[in-house]
Amino acid sequence: MTKSRWFLTYAAVMAGVASLAVATDARAEGGLTLEERLERLERKGEQPAGCCDTSALQHRLDRIEAHIKNLPFGLKLGGGIATSYKYDFNDPDSKRISLRSFDQDHNSFVLDLFQLQIARAPGDDGVGFVTKVDFGKLAERLGTDWDGDGTSGNVAEEQNSVDLQEAYLTYNFPGLPALQLKAGKFATPIGAEVIEPWANPNVSRSLAFSWAAPFTHAGATLSYAFGTQASLMLGVVNGWDNVVDSNDGKSLVGSLGLTPVESLTFLINGTYGAEQPDRGDSKRGLLDLVATIKPVENFAAILNYDYGNESDLDVGGDTEWNAFSGILAYDLVDALPVPVGVALRGEYFDDSDGTRLPTPNGGGFGNHQSAWEVTTTFKVVLAEGLMFRTEYRYDKGQHQLYEKSLVGDVDDYQNDQHTVAAELSYVF
Do 423 and 364 share a structural domain?
yes
* Strand-pair partners of 179: 224
In a domain, 111, yes or no: no
In a domain, 309, yes or no: yes
Alpha-carbon 365 to chain mean position: 28
In a domain, 152, yes or no: no
Give the number of residues written for the chain: 428
Do 423 and 276 share a structural domain?
yes
**CATH of residue 388:** 2.40.160.10
Task: Confirm whether pTM is higher than 0.85.
Answer: no
* Strand-pair partners of 305: 289, 324
In a domain, 182, yes or no: no
Nearest to 146 by CA among 6, 250, 243: 243
**pLDDT tens digits in sequence order for the chain, 428 residues long:** 444 444 444 444 444 434 443 334 433 434 455 555 555 555 455 445 555 667 777 777 777 766 666 677 789 999 999 999 999 999 999 999 999 999 999 999 999 999 999 999 998 899 999 999 999 999 999 878 887 776 766 666 666 889 999 999 999 999 999 999 999 999 999 999 999 999 999 999 999 999 999 999 999 999 999 999 999 999 999 999 999 998 989 999 999 999 999 999 999 999 999 998 888 889 999 999 999 999 999 999 999 999 999 998 877 678 999 999 999 999 999 888 999 999 999 999 999 988 899 876 655 667 899 999 999 999 999 999 999 999 999 999 998 899 998 765 556 899 999 999 999 999 99
Are the CB atoms for 129 and 169 separated by under 8 Å?
yes
Do 400 and 303 share a structural domain?
yes
Which SS3 state, helix, strand or coil, does residue 62 take?
A: helix
Are the CB atoms for 195 and 103 separated by under 8 Å?
no
* Strand-pair partners of 412: 404
- d(CA 286, CA 297) in angstroms, rounded, equals 33
Are the CB atoms for 316 and 286 separated by under 8 Å?
no
Neighbours of 35 (CB within 10 A): 11
Instruction: Give the domain extent around 318.
Output: 85-105+188-427
Pairing of strands 386-397, 416-427: antiparallel
Domain total in the chain: 2
Query: Is 176 buried (19+), middle (13-18) or exposed (0-12) by CB count in 10 A?
Result: exposed
